[in-house]
Amino acid sequence: MARIRVGKRVFRLPRSRAVRIVLGGALVLGGVLGFLPILGFWMIPIGLAVLSVDLPFVRRLRRRAEIWWLRLRQSRRRRKSAVRGKK
């Protein structure tokens, strides 16, 4: 069974690869219509995460974004600790 971990939570995905691809695609397409009520831009990253289970090129993009985000957080933490050390 495929799973996606977001923070400390784990979400189970359908067993069928075709259903996961359709679900991920629907979430991304729904996210593109984020300006409409109920649908939202929050659906795009969730859809990409679901697609990354089965599609290698989406998995690479997700992994690069994850590494970029972690490096950004680390550099901000270092700057904050450096500023606190000067005081």
pLDDT at 86 over 70: no
Mean pLDDT computed over 9-23: 91
Say what the pTM is: 0.72
Question: Over the stretch 23-67, which tens digit does the pLDDT of each residue have?
Answer: 999 999 988 888 887 778 888 888 999 999 999 999 999 899 989
The full set of domain ranges for the chain reads 3-86
| Interatomic CA distance for residues 2 and 83, integer angstroms | 43
In Å, what is the CA distance from 54 to each residue of 2, 3, 18, 48? 9, 11, 9, 10
Residues 6-10: what's their mean pLDDT? 84
Cβ-contact 50, 20 below 8 angstroms = yes
The residue among 11, 4, 10, 1 whose CA lies nearest residue 58 is: 4
Band (pLDDT 50/70/90 cuts) for residue 79 is confident
